[in-house]
């Protein structure tokens, strides 16, 4: 395995990490902005009000995206790691 092949494999895995993490990060951002606007409009400054909705939304998003994430990781394993183990 050459240096270029190692860099290509690492690049693929870094992009896979971005694709896997992006739904969770986008969900946290959207829910955080919505809750922040709600808190600013109502002048309620409760700390748990920001944490609990984000946690619930991220758990729902994680559950919904679990199939996509596992398929992506499995395809990466089959195309990169499996090739180098077998040959």
- Going by pLDDT thresholds of 50, 70 and 90, the confidence category of residue 87 is low
pTM of the predicted model as reported, rounded to 2 decimal places: 0.80
Largest alpha-carbon pair distance within the chain?
Answer: 63
Residue 87 lies in a domain: no
pLDDT tens digit string along 36-73?
999 989 988 887 788 899 999 999 999 999 999 999 99
Reduced to 3 states (helix: H, G, I; strand: E, B; else coil), residue 1 is: coil
Which structural domain, as residue segments, surrounds residue 51? 3-81
Q: Which of 31, 19, 74 is nearest to 56 (CA)?
A: 31
Residue 17 lies in a domain: yes
Helices 47-76 and 3-42, packing angle to 10 deg: 160
pLDDT at 49: 82
Residue 14 lies in a domain: yes
Distance CA(54)–CA(72), nearest Å, equals 25
Looking at the 3D structure of the chain, how many domains does it have?
1
């Amino acid at each position: 395995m050459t240096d270029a092949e190692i860099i290509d494999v690492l690049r693929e895995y870094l992009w896979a990490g971005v694709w896997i993490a992006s739904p969770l990060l986008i969900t946290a951002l959207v829910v955080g902005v919505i809750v922040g606007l709600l808190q600013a409009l109502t002048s309620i400054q409760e700390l748990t009000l920001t944490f609990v909705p984000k946690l619930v939304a991220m758990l729902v998003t994680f559950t919904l995206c679990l199939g996509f994430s596992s398929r992506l990781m499995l395809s990466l394993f089959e195309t990169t790691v499996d090739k180098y183990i077998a040959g």
